Amino acid sequence: MLSTMQDTPLSIAQLLRHGSTIHGTAEVVTWTDAGARRRSYADVGRRCAQLAHALRGLGVTGDERVGTFMWNNAEHLEAYLAIPSMGAVLHTLNIRLFPEQLVFVANHGEDHAIIVDPTLVPLLNPQLAQMETVKHVIVTGDSADGVDAPEGVQVHAYEQLIADQPTDFDWPDVDERSAAAMCYTSGTTGDPKGVAYSHRSIFMHSMQVCMTDGPALKQGDRALAVVPQFHAMSWGLPYAAFMIGASLIMPDRFLQPEPLAALIAAEKPNFSAAVPTIWQGLHQYLEANPQDISFMKDVLIGGSAVPPSLMHTFEEDHGVQVLHAWGMTETSPLGSVARPPAGTEGEERWRYRYTQGRFPASVQARLVDDLGEVVPNDGNSVGELEVRGPWITGSYYGVDAPEKFQDGWLRTGDVGTITPDGYLTLTDRTKDIIKSGGEWISSVDLENAVMGHPDVIEAAVIGIADAKWDERPLVAVVLREGSDAKVEDLQEFLSDKVAKWQLPENWTVINEVPKTSVGKFDKKRLRSQYTDGDLEVTRI
Amino acid sequence: MLSTMQDTPLSIAQLLRHGSTIHGTAEVVTWTDAGARRRSYADVGRRCAQLAHALRGLGVTGDERVGTFMWNNAEHLEAYLAIPSMGAVLHTLNIRLFPEQLVFVANHGEDHAIIVDPTLVPLLNPQLAQMETVKHVIVTGDSADGVDAPEGVQVHAYEQLIADQPTDFDWPDVDERSAAAMCYTSGTTGDPKGVAYSHRSIFMHSMQVCMTDGPALKQGDRALAVVPQFHAMSWGLPYAAFMIGASLIMPDRFLQPEPLAALIAAEKPNFSAAVPTIWQGLHQYLEANPQDISFMKDVLIGGSAVPPSLMHTFEEDHGVQVLHAWGMTETSPLGSVARPPAGTEGEERWRYRYTQGRFPASVQARLVDDLGEVVPNDGNSVGELEVRGPWITGSYYGVDAPEKFQDGWLRTGDVGTITPDGYLTLTDRTKDIIKSGGEWISSVDLENAVMGHPDVIEAAVIGIADAKWDERPLVAVVLREGSDAKVEDLQEFLSDKVAKWQLPENWTVINEVPKTSVGKFDKKRLRSQYTDGDLEVTRI
């Protein structure tokens, strides 16, 4: 029996219409070297129509892809809204990809045009000639100078291109399951793989970002989106903010602690989102340059596990509550959010907050062991996390990857436990688990324990070959400037924090943990450094 | 270009799975004449499986309808979850329908079985013989005594029926657009018309109930669902509570002010939902029997316009914030919610709260004039409200009603204005507007103004024929016991509140405003009373 409900599709165009009228006075604030520039959502709505007309004029029809090579700013927000609303597909290009990966994704996605920020033109120029389908380069601002356009590629200045276009657009109807935006994962192995979000998945994900068991973004919030728009859709904040009427504060290229602190002081966000390293850096800066940030009530942190010490520091030193979350490009990206159950207090509450949190009703999660069997959610059984739901990818764009899926569930590559009431604790990546004498040692648990030491800024743990135990952990630590801590002190510090047989005997002090293009620990590189003999290892 | 997202359907089964595991310790509390009985959501999950097995055993297959003739209680919650999850369709029967309407809807919906509460058996009995498709009557509790079963109808006791059934069920996959539940509108003209909600519409509506621009129901809330489960799905609270892990407090048949006050004192809900008359009654009771209810932070009121005086009373006398909302059976039912913009204060904030509120991103709204033209959202232009969205009905079950729709939009029959930032103010029903000398007078505005008088308990305004002006308002008022207010005083009271030409000259004092089966003012009956000469009208 069919329902009598209307069959209206969920669409970005509806989100754009809603945000630019009902929430027309909300604003997107973009940081510049001369302070903030502001634009109301009503203006964003008009400029989206102009951009869509302009892109049609450049031959963008049907589901053609339009790339963006941009920081977080007002024009990137316009691209987010206008491109899917006109039926085309937004392709966010990660500016931190290696050159050959960047060329690969632009060609694989068959981008017809690329919108680029002036400061990023030099980074794009060397690759342009190899981007085979790109016909237009649009530089944000008033000038298109500086683009080394290959033959057959036209260059435009964004403001001139849209200036004389009509300020309304008859947004077409779309199938809600058609692609709205795509994003390639910056996999450490093989070519990047594309995830194509649908209008439906983005719309529903935006609702979740505004739900009480999610980040609970609300009308009137001032949301600082530090997490890049080229990385997992800035965790869905631009769309969710437009849906709910929260203003967006965009740092553009000013992601270093000092300008970020200035932006925070000037614009007083009450909500923010970024990976741990950003907050780690900001915290160090604030220690040296004290500044009140307590108006920033909630900070969503994900992308990699948040060290408990960082959560305590933010709450106790700065009055800012860290909301730990888990997700990945393939999951839109939320994921689980660590809201403790109502009524929990003190240590119990903290224990819930240290976890990766629990999933909303829309996302199912299960743990699967080495043999492909589902293990119970008993808080002890360890397995690989698999997820399912309307905003979880079920495949990759134009490439088979059967090893990433099982019976329609996405295999996340993350390993951990789930409690009966649904709280996920990740202990490792499947590939980073250290297999020592038939037992598993979590590299992440060790890292967190080491990072609890006051002199340790960062710590990364990898498994290294061991004649007796197959593998044993090697701890690479970055020490605070001026620290005279010895690795023996650090091992001693761990002695009451981890099981005796897990206590690492191999240590190396380094200047910085190598990072991937999105700021995660690059353990692959650390492993190469070790096997190449580039690390000075102390064996205690 | 298709997205790569998974194609998992939104379903009640997923909601049931989620709530009964992740939120297994939340509870449904049912009030009885001996206090509360409690059941955890984990138990509800197991009993839903048992109920589904039992219903399969009674021949409920495919999309067959199972009716409920019940108060708000734990078993009704189980029916809400189990029946759609097994692929069948829940049909909530309104216990306040007139007998012939009840027979009509059970036959029109072709109910295969009916679950009934023991206290409602006497109300169902006289109609059973005329219900042509009903094969089974299931009485909640341990006994099926008292049912006058016609030949061919089997009678069962709910607890015995489910007792030996397995506590898990392999819930089938469903098409998310298939019907999950149906509810007939208690139209004052013609036969009741059925609305069939889909799995998709219920799932998305539940998300909205937990969104920050909606009622914002959250994990750990204790939600008192006074609004009946047989009336517009109890405004979606049972499903939303199960989705988010809010406990449900169910009053069963104890809807009178005194037991309701006792239930509130015992169970301390922090959230509630009901029509204005319930709160009006509770307020009067609390005036005579003072009791602290300030823990009940938010009260959602809709169903008919909330008099501002009631909102002030609850906030100022009881410390309870009223959240004004608009919806109807055809809209699942939310609708708009009157959350004022962040940052508004004092009188400005109140002005926003008096309105019917604004719609979420999922629901589009527009105003249409007599000629079918869309009028602007300028806060002044008046038109009939039309709505569109994934949980708005696009037709009625098994009956054509083209006059209720326009270009795919639902015509609501409500008349009002919308501000540029989306706030809806309803001034009347299309059929209740008073057309006086070519101008429109809103019956609702007049009613609210009259109800602001301290001696007036209720006021209803209808248009009556007038030789000079075509129509003029007649005000029917119910005065507080012992009041010696004269209608001349009431007219005088209005003199600085409405335009001079709107000032009503026709008044009648009555004992009670006639109500429809769902507790709304029944102006049709009031008009008949007037034309039949049953009202004593004073002309000033």
Looking at A174, A203, A232, which one is the last position of a domain?
A203
Per the structure, the count of domains in chain A is 2
For residue B399, is it within any domain?
Answer: no
On whether residue A491 sits in a domain, the answer given is: yes
Strands A409-418 and A405-406 come out as antiparallel
Decide if A384 is catalytic: no
Residue B314 lies in a domain: no
- Give the CATH number of the domain where residue B212 resides: 3.40.50.12780
**What tokens does A340 get?**
């403790």
Give ipTM to 2 decimals. Answer: 0.89
DSSP A439-465: EEE-HHHHHHHHHTSTTEEEEEEEEEE
Average pLDDT value for chain B = 94
Q: Which residues contact B256 (CB under 8 A, 6 or more apart)?
A: B281
d(CA B457, CA B480): 6
Give CA–CA dist A171/A194, Å, rounded: 26
Length of chain A: 540
Q: How confident is the model at residue B189 (pLDDT cuts 50, 70, 90)?
A: low
CATH code of the domain containing A476 = 3.30.300.30
Note whether B217 contacts A: Cβ–Cβ < 8 A.
yes
Q: How confident is the model at residue B520 (pLDDT cuts 50, 70, 90)?
A: confident
Residue B372: phi and psi, rounded to 5, are 85, 10
Whether residue A315 is predicted with pLDDT greater than 70 in this model: the reply is yes
Q: Does A11 touch chain B (CB under 8 A)?
A: no
Q: A residues 341-400 near B, CB within 8 Å?
A: 341-343, 358-359, 361-362, 364, 377, 388-397
A186, pLDDT greater than 90:
no
In the residue annotation, A435 being an active-site residue is answered as yes
Strand partners, A83: none
Interface contact A6-B342, CB threshold 8 A: no
Q: What is the largest CA-CA distance in chain A?
A: 73
In a domain, A411, yes or no: no
Give Cα B34 to chain centroid, integer Å.
Answer: 27
Choosing from B274, B293, B317, the residue where a domain stops is B274
User: What is the torsional sign of CA A523, A527, A529, A530?
Assistant: positive
Q: What is the pLDDT of residues B72-104, one digit of tens each?
A: 999 999 999 999 999 999 999 999 888 999 999
Closest by alpha carbon to B265, among B249, B278, B276? B249
**Amino acid B80: pLDDT:** 98
In a domain, A232, yes or no: no
Most confident of A452-461, A462-471, B159-168, B446-455: B159-168
Residue pairs between chains A and B whose CB atoms are closer than 8 Å? 223
Query: What SS3 class is residue B170?
Result: coil
Q: In whole angstroms, what is the distance from residue A122 CA to residue A108 CA?
A: 22
Among residues A203, A230, A251, the one where a domain terminates is A203
Give the integer Cα–Cα distance in Å for B355 and B337: 9
Chain mean position to CA A255: 14
Which residue in B112, B163, B117, B106 sits closest to B144, CA to CA? B117
How close does chain B come to A359, measured CA to CA in Å?
9
Q: Is A198 in contact with A177 (CB distance < 8 Å)? A: yes
Any domain includes A155? yes
Q: What's the pLDDT tens digit per position in A347-404?
A: 999 999 999 999 999 999 999 987 889 999 999 998 999 999 999 999 999 999 999 9
Q: What gap in Å lies between CA B8 and CA B58, rounded to an integer? A: 30
Mean of the per-residue pLDDT values of chain A: 94
Percent residues over pLDDT 70 in chain A: 99
Sign for the CA dihedral angle at B497, B500, B502, B506 comes to positive
User: Among B434, B432, B498, which residue's Cα sits nearest to residue B470?
Assistant: B434
Q: Distance between CA B364 and CA B389 in Å, rounded? A: 6
CB contact residues (below 8 A), chain A span 114-143, against chain B: none
Range of the domain at A157: 12-203
What are A135-145's pLDDT values in tens digits? 999 999 999 99
Residue keyed to tokens 């409500």: B414
Q: Does B137 map to a domain?
A: yes
Planar angle of CA B246, B217, B363, nearest 5 degrees = 135
Cβ–Cβ under 8 Å, residues B535 and B461:
no
Tell me, what's the pLDDT at A518?
A: 67
Give the 3-state secondary structure of residue A21.
Answer: helix
pLDDT band at A271 (very low <50, low <70, confident <90, very high): very high
Query: Is A469 in the active site?
Result: no
In contact, B401 and B411? CB cutoff 8 Å:
no
Are A456 and A426 in contact, with CB atoms under 8 Å apart? Answer: no
Which of A15, A194, A207 has its CB closest to that of B211? A207
| CA–CA gap between residue A200 and residue A366 (Å, rounded) | 24
Specify burial of residue B413 (Cβ count, 10 A radius: 0-12, 13-18, 19+): middle
Indicate the Cα dihedral angle B76, B82, B88, B92, nearest 10°: 10
Residue B352 belongs to some domain of the structure: no
Record the pTM. Answer: 0.89
Q: Helix (H, G, I), strand (E, B), or coil: what is residue A37?
A: strand
B267-293: buried (b, 16+ CB within 10 Å) or exposed (e) per residue? bebbbbbbbbbbbbbbbebbeeeeeeb
Residues A345 and A53: their CA atoms lie apart, in Å, by: 54
pLDDT tens sequence across B371-411 = 889 999 999 998 999 999 999 999 999 999 999 999 999 99
Q: Which residues 238-257 on chain B approach chain A with CB closer than 8 angstroms?
A: 243-245
